[in-house]
């Protein structure tokens, strides 16, 4: 499993992370197998959020993790907080601190390697966030901090007050959902792809050594469905099949390799709980698509080259 630097820290992380959003559907034995399958593939990075299963995912993971006998120091555990589902976003100091305590209690762990703020809070007071980060760092409950789905200026505002470097930004990214690419390719044009929806976040993260984590790497739209095998993307799937045969892998592997081919050194978050699919995704670490293949996939997803 290839590794990439984690921002400017001394840590390296696998290019693929295990997303834990759907693990509440697994039995304890299946969840132990899920953890062990990722670990055997060289993927020791597990991404949680306090809203996944309303906390059940973290609780189940904590119990299964103990059962596996894997050492805590051999894994990287990340979680997110800030969303009160269907109600509001809350980045207040009190909410962040209470959330982390609850996360650690459910995981049955003493610390998080990384805490992300889950989506932007319009009422964020950066001084409060900074105060919460200081307490969490000093107490040893959180080692590193980051955000998700944030624009450059939102990160700049928070970074002005937080002394801890924000090292991660978690963003939706897949072959069809690649507006981060399109807005840079279609500069100064009156096309849909030219619309800058995120303030050049891709370039910003590269300039500031912020590791991009990609969520929903096989989805189109906002959880509208999986594009692999979908009749909505016939040309894309035909090419995925062709390249899968060339590299003796599956279309899932090729779709994963497309993300990993980008020089921004992104980390793909795999939400799969299937042992076979986990192996297919992990295989992308060993494949480097050619420049022409990367662009062909981009084009068959409906994008253009001006």
Neighbouring C-beta atoms of residue 108, cutoff 10 Å: 14
Considering the domain boundaries, does residue 305 fall inside one?
A: no
Predicted pLDDT of residue 223: 83
Considering the domain boundaries, does residue 17 fall inside one?
A: yes
Which 3 state secondary structure label does DSSP give 85? coil
Predicted pLDDT of residue 73: 97
Predicted pLDDT of residue 167: 98
- pLDDT exceeds 90 at position 47: yes
Q: How many structural domains are present in the chain? A: 1
SS3 track for 60-96 = HHHHHHHHHCCCHHHCEEEEEECEECCCEECCCHHHH
Task: Find the CATH number of the domain harbouring 73.
Answer: 3.20.20.100
Q: Give yes or no for a contact between 107 and 64, defined as CB atoms under 8 angstroms apart.
A: no
Q: Give yes or no for a contact between 149 and 161, defined as CB atoms under 8 angstroms apart.
A: no
Predicted pLDDT of residue 77: 98
SS3 track for 7-23 = CCCCCEEECEEEECCCH
| pTM beyond cutoff 0.85 | yes
pLDDT > 90 in the chain, percent? 98
| Residue 220 annotated in active site | no
Q: What is the pLDDT of residues 259-290, one digit of tens each?
A: 999 999 999 999 999 999 999 999 999 999 99
- pLDDT band for position 222 (cuts 50, 70, 90): confident
Q: What is the pLDDT of residues 56-95, one digit of tens each?
A: 999 999 999 999 999 999 999 999 999 999 999 999 999 9
Q: What is the pLDDT of residues 121-172, one digit of tens each?
A: 999 999 999 999 999 999 999 999 999 999 999 999 999 999 999 999 999 9
Considering the domain boundaries, does residue 260 fall inside one?
A: no
Q: What is the pLDDT of residues 1-38, one digit of tens each?
A: 999 999 999 999 999 999 999 999 999 999 999 999 99
Six-digit token string for 168: 């991660």
Question: Can you tell me the distance from the alpha carbon of 23 to that of 190, in angstroms, rounded to the nearest whole number?
Answer: 43
Domain range for 99 is 10-172
Considering the domain boundaries, does residue 286 fall inside one?
A: no
Q: Strands, DSSP E only, in the chain?
A: 3-5, 12-14, 16-19, 45-47, 76-81, 83-84, 88-89, 112-117, 142-148, 166-172, 211-215, 219-220, 225-226, 267-270
pLDDT > 70 in the chain, percent? 100
Predicted pLDDT of residue 271: 95
- pLDDT exceeds 90 at position 102: yes
Axis crossing angle, helix 275-282 with helix 28-40, rounded to the nearest 10:
20
Q: What is the pLDDT of residues 178-220, one digit of tens each?
A: 999 999 999 999 999 999 999 999 999 999 999 999 999 999 9
Question: Can you tell me the distance from the alpha carbon of 78 to that of 46, in angstroms, rounded to the nearest whole number?
Answer: 6
Containing 28, the helix (H) or strand (E) segment is helix 28-40
Considering the domain boundaries, does residue 263 fall inside one?
A: no
Considering the domain boundaries, does residue 230 fall inside one?
A: no
Predicted pLDDT of residue 250: 98
Considering the domain boundaries, does residue 81 fall inside one?
A: yes
Which 3 state secondary structure label does DSSP give 250? coil
Question: What average pLDDT does the structure give for the chain?
Answer: 97
Q: Which of 52, 204, 220, 298 is catalytic?
A: 52
Predicted pLDDT of residue 219: 95
Considering the domain boundaries, does residue 229 fall inside one?
A: no
Residues 6 or more apart in contact with residue 99 via CB below 8 angstroms: 50, 81, 82
């Amino acid at each position: 499993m290839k590794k990439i630097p984690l921002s400017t820290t001394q840590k390296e992380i696998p290019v693929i992370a295990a997303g834990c959003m759907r693990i509440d559907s697994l039995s304890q034995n299946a969840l132990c197998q899920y953890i062990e399958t990722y670990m055997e593939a060289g993927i020791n990075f597990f991404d949680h959020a306090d809203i996944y299963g309303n906390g059940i995912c973290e609780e189940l993971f904590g119990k299964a993790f103990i059962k596996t006998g894997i050492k805590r120091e051999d894994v990287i555990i990340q979680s997110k907080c800030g969303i009160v589902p269907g109600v509001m976003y809350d980045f207040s100091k009190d909410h962040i601190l209470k959330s982390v305590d609850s996360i650690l209690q459910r995981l049955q762990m003493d610390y998080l390697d990384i805490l992300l703020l889950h989506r932007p809070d319009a009422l964020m007071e950066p001084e409060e966030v900074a105060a919460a980060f200081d307490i969490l760092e000093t107490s040893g409950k959180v080692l590193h901090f980051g955000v998700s789905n944030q624009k450059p200026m939102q990160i700049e505002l928070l970074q002005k007050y937080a002394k801890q470097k924000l090292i991660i930004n978690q963003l939706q990214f897949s072959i069809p959902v690649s507006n981060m690419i399109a807005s840079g390719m279609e500069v100064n044009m009156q096309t849909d792809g030219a619309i800058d929806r995120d303030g050049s976040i891709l370039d910003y993260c590269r300039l500031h050594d912020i590791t991009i984590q990609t969520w929903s790497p096989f989805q189109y739209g906002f959880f509208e469905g999986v594009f692999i095998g979908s009749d909505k993307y016939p040309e894309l799937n035909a090419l995925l099949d062709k390249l899968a045969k060339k590299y003796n892998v599956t279309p899932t592997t090729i779709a994963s390799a497309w993300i990993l081919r980008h020089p921004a050194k992104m980390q793909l978050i795999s939400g799969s709980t299937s042992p076979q699919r986990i192996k297919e995704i992990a295989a992308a670490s060993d494949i480097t698509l050619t420049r022409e293949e990367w662009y062909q996939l981009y084009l068959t997803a409906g994008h253009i080259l001006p």
